[in-house]
Structure 1
Amino acid sequence: MTDPAVPPVLRLDDMSVSYRIRGRAVPVLSQVNLSIAKGEVYGLVGESGSGKSTVALAVQRVLPANGRMSGGRALINGRDVGALDRAALLQMRAREVAMVFQDPGRALNPSITIGRQVAEAFEILGASGHEARRRAEEMLTRVRISSPARVMERYPHQLSGGMQQRVVIAMALAKDPSLLILDEPTTGLDATIEAEILDLVDTLRREFGASILFISHNLGAIAGLCDRVGVLYAGRLVEEGPVRDLFADPRHPYTAGLLRCLPRPGLRKDLAPLDTIPGFPPAPGSIPVGCVFAPRCALADETCRTIDPPLVTTGAGRVSRCHHHDRVGDLPHAVPRAAAGTLAPAGASTGTPVLELTALSKTYGSAPYAVQALRDVSLRLMPGQTLGLVGESGSGKSTLAHALLGLIAPDAGGGMALDGAALAPEVRRRTAEQIKTLQIVFQNPDSALNRSHSVRRLIGRAITRLGGLKGAQREAQVTRLLESVRLTARQLSARPRQLSGGMKQRVAVARAFAGNPRLVVCDEPTSALDVSVQAAILNLLAELQAERQVAYLLISHDLGVVRYLSDWIAVLYLGRLLEVGPAARVLDGPHHPYTEALLSAAPSVSGERTGRIRLTGAIPSGVSPPAGCLFHTRCPRRIGPICDTEEPPFTADAHGHAIRCHLPRAELGRSLAPATA
């Protein structure tokens, strides 16, 4: 229980922040109040642009040059950050507050070894060179990095994303901070690595006694780690309370909307669309009166549009900024597709596959340092169906996609066929029709779209190159594609920087459909998006698939997304297929022990972490993969020497559900609980 005599580690009193843009002060945070007690983990959620990262920057006084705290105050350990002089501010940043950013690759210097970078953190605090290096190795051990001495000699690019994040956390904890700020620390990580990082943070906060401000759009991660959660919308704190109580019974329509956007257990694309939050977040300072959420709220009335709702108590330790907090449960869900009649069943399971891979392999390098990134991968995908491809980083997912797109040539001996016709290994040797038929939607639309081109040019150029249309015909097709992805003519002249993340991804989807493709590779198409935007994009992909009978190869580490959109699922490990089958059978079991571990690692908004299967050891090197079963070095179900020496058979049942394991199918596990996003 919190001691009332001890001041909170972080306290915000009516804190407001504004940015000066074109000579005008634009508010981005308005009268935010929150506190974090010693040893407490406080989650902060909300869509992009809600002000989450601005909170993190403001409490450290590292706002951009055009930003300033326009009202209220931020206190760390009882001291007003805004009143500190330069020397005291530097001391506070050096010893009391540490921050871990979303992308560890950018936080680490690529030209300096890991050991030097971690040791430098201790040297800044006064340790000698030898002592700093000893403490650096000790800290790497504490963040569960095996063989820390060897890791210290490596450079950042030689480490996986999960290892890089552990190094950054080690550097942050070097100064034993009283406040640790984590800004989207698990975005882009595999489910197993994400679960390990969250476990690590939970363990370290108990060891160090640090308070944590955890910023994330991953509601499952928030539920699994945090004690309390605050919900930000358009710079206002609209709801706050104990995380499990709040997620189980939200009392603000925005919180309820975020939770409903998640793919729910048992919900598939053919049953119902995902719930979405209509409209878009308002521009900062654009709603001067009334509730900031009123333009998007199904409960809004004239009172909401004219009177700013106060924070009201809705339970023990809970507050909500809503006039109708007692009616949130009345919000309607999306109409089931059976009633709406908007989505036809998935494509037929017989006939010519749109994609067929036969014994596809890919080897990088040459002996003795050859890495077999893919090994004898055979898959079929029918028109109008989605194949979900899952596995940890390094499993071969991207290599398979690159081979399919003709960006790399697979090894001789395998085969690829598109609509029954052989697919040349290199894109320059493929026909124009094959290039048009096979398209991709990338993870990050910012990198995929030319920033200097308008939406009209981005889509129009693809139409001309893939379809040969020009002039009025091209303009008509641009309009049709925009309408199909739920954009309007107003966006035609806009450039990517003027669009939201969801709008940019819609433009990327429209461009991929410019040539009426038969197969679209979706490479983590929603991992960088908020849950509300993710739901809209997944609904769009499902509707376009039903309308055009296009097939998707979906690469994702989000098992909630895979569960919702996939008809079939393939599980890769070290380039080898361990399991393939209909989505329901792979997810509900019996399934391979590796699949079981992936499912158990998926976070849930219930916050329950029971049944988690922890994989021991690191993923083996592709240069010297294990003999026998590739997974036996980490497998919790290993049965004996046969796993070490003999590769398991890849056997399928009558439904086409194949599992590569020595264990009899009757002894393989079933999912303890459905995985959610």
Structure 2
Amino acid sequence: MNGPSPPPPPASFPAFDVSKSEQSDALTIVGLTVAYRTRGRERDVLQDVSFRIRRGESYGLVGESGCGKSTVAMATLRYLARNGRVKAGRISIAGKEVHSLDAAALRELRANRISMVYQDPSRALNPSLTIARQVGEAFEASGATREDGLKQTADMLRKVRIAEPERVMDSYPHQLSGGMQQRVVIAMALASKPALLILDEPTTGLDATVEAEVLDLVAQLREEFHTAVLFISHNLAVIGRMCERVGVLYAGKLVEEGATQDVFARPRHPYTVGLLRCLPTVGRSKDTDRLDTIAGSLPQPGSVTQGCIYAERCRLADDRCRREAPPPYRLSARHGDQMSRCHYHERAMELPRATPADAPAQTSGNTHAAHDASPVLRAESVSKTFHVAGAALRAVDDVSLELAKGETLGLVGESGSGKTTLAKLLLGLVSPDAGSVIELDGTPLPARVTNRNDEQVKSLQIVFQNPDSALNRAHSVRRLIGRALSRLSALHGEAREERLASLAQAVRLPDRYLTSRTRQLSGGLKQRVAIARAFAGDPRIVVCDEPTSALDVSVQAAILNLLADLQRDRSVSYVFISHDLNVVRYLSDRIAVLYVGRLLEIGPASAVFDGPHHPYTEALLSSVPALDQQDGEAFPDAKPQRIRLAGELPSPAAPPSGCVFHTRCPRKLGAICEQQDPPYADAGDAHRIRCHIPVDELRVLQRRN
């Protein structure tokens, strides 16, 4: 895996004095070029990447999937795949050059100097070993005895805010929540008190409250251990909150770098500008403006041999850009130097939009008046009880809601709150308890989808979070959509082909992809195929279960625009489930807040987000990192003080008495909350809050915060 002798730092990149920095920095990368050999050809996936991370500093690395972010991490660990190699450059960790180490020294470095936390904690934990054994091994690798390792394990689990470490130590990974698993993985990573901690999308799959806890934990432990952090993420708001400096990768090149506040407030590269414009920030909604997108897609590794690597997607590019590769221009910014690989960096903020800003005029079927008409879907007193190991687990408890034609209802709440179970009940994938009523156009729906007629089945469809789990990788896109058309409509022959082409056009799927297998498509293209299949039978209602959480911000913006356009064109209704409250706010007309299967609040999106709101909603909103944007500039949003919820989500098998939220509520009144289930209070404009605190008092309390 070792490459040739590293070259001297390139003269065109006078970023820092290597000889001095390598002794004082946690990580120094200079002129890094990494190539993978595929089909007998070597392709550069990183080209001349240089940056450094000082001791105790947090550095963010952002860019679309495929830009090379994880390859930087793997090269730093010297853990590239067998077909990868470092062609040029040097990597130094705490003064030690990584690619000059022998096997023993490399093991020592990985055990004591550097640690990594991956996106999916369940894949980093051995399902057959207890937490005590796994975390204990991390301490033993640093020289502790087994007995000392167990003692230090309990202490470290307390540091990562696990309240009952002894119970958790005796548990297996599958017995813990996702947030708890991630804290355990962080505890393992910090066992050696590393000089450098690499976090690769560590919060992507977590709820807002758990994400906030994990981020607070990383910040606290970074300060305590003086650990440097390389934070890889496509969530720009998280980077804005966590990192002092940020680097923007595009197709293997670092195209912009600087202090996070400078880069996000005044980006100097069109790619960075495009990423920031993709965000569904405060004050934007599907009814007032469309999210901007980045046209085109990433070039194949090694395919751009002349000019600027971003030229084909850049709306500022001219002949000079296609002819001359821009050098790293260094500029003086408010919080330090800022680098941009753009010939026209002073004009980056003038980048024309790729997508018209104004939302198309609403169709008559999607006006506010239509939302006041008879509901297309109604759920009344819906409950679902599972029986697990002899115990009754009430996943959904007496939920009532309505969905109007052309309306989006956002479902929010922590994992385990019952969002997905409620969606499955509406779809007929799970049967509700006796007494539950689910109606379509005023007609009761059979409990199971197998008992529904064809018209009822095609009226309710679903788009899953992970299209890979819903699409057969061996089938072509044409066959996947065509099968849905065959099953859900009477179209045949030429009519079916016309309908298929129309669907592909509606989801902005180019015809050339119809013959492709889904394994050949990007995540965004796969999700478009899943959406096309869901719309094959002209559904009345589409359940969207985390459809954008795993996507880059540029792809996410395109999918959100697509969903909004399809809703306007076809007056379809959405039940939209997501833990990203910024996305929910952008797309939803109304919001329903679930907690341990109970509906705590429901109302228009603006009313729920602006307040007054339930104390649980208040805590959720305070946990969400966000970037606000004004006049084309982005900066960390001035948010209210974060509200920390004590303890874990209660088990639906043993929910608290009285108000189900009282065990974690920061505004608990006293015995009344413990003994009496609160009624709904009317906050006006069909906004209802289930809390003992009067609405006017909630409004005053939340204004103070």
Q: Is the structural similarity TM-score above 0.5?
A: yes
Of 468-477 and 87-96, more deviation after overlay is shown by: 468-477
Aligned to 1:135: 152
Aligned to 2:385: 363
Give 1:478-493 correspondences, 5 Å limit.
Answer: 478-493=500-515
- Structure 1 CA distance for aligned equivalents of residues 362 and 97 of structure 2: 56
Aligned to 2:642: 612
| CA shift digits 1:250-289 (9 cap, x unpaired) | 1111111111100121111011110111111111111111
CA deviation after TM superposition for structure 1 residue 671, in Å:
11
The answer to whether the 8 A contact 2:292-2:357 is kept is no
AA matched with 2:669? I
| CA shift digits 1:363-403 (9 cap, x unpaired) | 11179721111111000001100000000011000110111
- Structure 2 CA distance for aligned equivalents of residues 527 and 51 of structure 1: 20
- Structure 1 CA distance for aligned equivalents of residues 55 and 480 of structure 2: 51
Aligned to 2:183: 166
Aligned to 1:29: 46
- Structure 1 CA distance for aligned equivalents of residues 174 and 699 of structure 2: 36
Aligned to 1:270: 287
| CA shift digits 1:536-563 (9 cap, x unpaired) | 0000000000100000000000011111
- Structure 2 CA distance for aligned equivalents of residues 395 and 405 of structure 1: 18
Q: Does 1:650 align with 2:680?
A: yes
* SS of 2:371 mapped into structure 1: coil
Specify whether residues 367 and 377 from structure 1 end up closer, same or farther in structure 2 by C-alpha distance, changes over 3 A only: farther
Aligned to 2:349: 329
Aligned to 1:208: 225
Among 534, 539, 558, the alignment partner of 1:536 is: 558
Percent identity, aligned pairs only? 59
CA deviation after TM superposition for structure 1 residue 313, in Å:
1.2
Name the TM-score, length of structure 1 as normaliser. Answer: 0.97
- Structure 2 CA distance for aligned equivalents of residues 372 and 317 of structure 1: 56
The answer to whether the 8 A contact 1:221-1:603 is kept is yes
- Structure 2 CA distance for aligned equivalents of residues 265 and 343 of structure 1: 25
- Structure 2 CA distance for aligned equivalents of residues 589 and 275 of structure 1: 28
The answer to whether the 8 A contact 1:122-1:175 is kept is yes
CA deviation after TM superposition for structure 1 residue 670, in Å:
7.8
Specify whether residues 346 and 186 from structure 1 end up closer, same or farther in structure 2 by C-alpha distance, changes over 3 A only: farther
The answer to whether the 8 A contact 1:556-1:562 is kept is yes
- Structure 1 CA distance for aligned equivalents of residues 514 and 648 of structure 2: 48
Specify whether residues 207 and 59 from structure 1 end up closer, same or farther in structure 2 by C-alpha distance, changes over 3 A only: same
Of 653-662 and 199-208, more deviation after overlay is shown by: 653-662
Specify whether residues 468 and 110 from structure 1 end up closer, same or farther in structure 2 by C-alpha distance, changes over 3 A only: farther
AA matched with 1:335? P
Specify whether residues 49 and 632 from structure 1 end up closer, same or farther in structure 2 by C-alpha distance, changes over 3 A only: same
Aligned to 1:395: 417
- Structure 1 CA distance for aligned equivalents of residues 560 and 392 of structure 2: 38
Of 569-578 and 633-642, more deviation after overlay is shown by: 633-642
CA deviation after TM superposition for structure 1 residue 164, in Å:
0.3
* SS of 1:439 mapped into structure 2: strand
Give 1:468-617 correspondences, 5 Å limit.
Answer: 468-605=490-627, 606-607=635-636, 611-617=641-647
Give 1:350-499 correspondences, 5 Å limit.
Answer: 350-365=372-387, 369-499=391-521
CA deviation after TM superposition for structure 1 residue 616, in Å:
1.6
Aligned to 2:138: 121
- Structure 2 CA distance for aligned equivalents of residues 374 and 252 of structure 1: 48
The answer to whether the 8 A contact 1:45-1:231 is kept is yes
* SS of 1:469 mapped into structure 2: coil
Q: Does 1:260 align with 2:277?
A: yes
Root-mean-square deviation (CA, aligned residues, Å) is 1.7
- Residue segments in structure 2 that go unaligned for 5+ positions in a row: 1-16, 628-634
CA deviation after TM superposition for structure 1 residue 129, in Å:
2.1
Q: Does 1:320 align with 2:333?
A: no
Specify whether residues 621 and 46 from structure 1 end up closer, same or farther in structure 2 by C-alpha distance, changes over 3 A only: same
The answer to whether the 8 A contact 1:519-1:553 is kept is yes
Among 210, 222, 225, the alignment partner of 1:193 is: 210
| CA shift digits 1:100-121 (9 cap, x unpaired) | 0000011111121111111121
Specify whether residues 343 and 433 from structure 1 end up closer, same or farther in structure 2 by C-alpha distance, changes over 3 A only: closer
Aligned to 1:632: 662
Name the TM-score, length of structure 2 as normaliser. Answer: 0.93
Runs of 4+ in 1 over 6 A off after TM superposition: 2-5, 670-673
The answer to whether the 8 A contact 2:477-2:518 is kept is yes
- Structure 1 CA distance for aligned equivalents of residues 153 and 642 of structure 2: 30
AA matched with 1:22? R
Aligned to 2:106: 89
Aligned to 2:265: 248
- Structure 1 CA distance for aligned equivalents of residues 678 and 323 of structure 2: 67
AA matched with 2:559? I
Aligned to 1:55: 72
AA matched with 2:419? K
Specify whether residues 200 and 471 from structure 1 end up closer, same or farther in structure 2 by C-alpha distance, changes over 3 A only: same
Among 298, 303, 313, the alignment partner of 1:286 is: 303
CA deviation after TM superposition for structure 1 residue 633, in Å:
1.2
* SS of 2:400 mapped into structure 1: strand
Aligned to 2:695: 665
* SS of 2:446 mapped into structure 1: coil
* SS of 1:401 mapped into structure 2: helix
The answer to whether the 8 A contact 1:599-1:671 is kept is no
The answer to whether the 8 A contact 1:58-1:69 is kept is yes
* SS of 1:317 mapped into structure 2: strand
Of 122-131 and 408-417, more deviation after overlay is shown by: 122-131
CA deviation after TM superposition for structure 1 residue 78, in Å:
1.7
The answer to whether the 8 A contact 1:304-1:323 is kept is yes
AA matched with 1:471? G
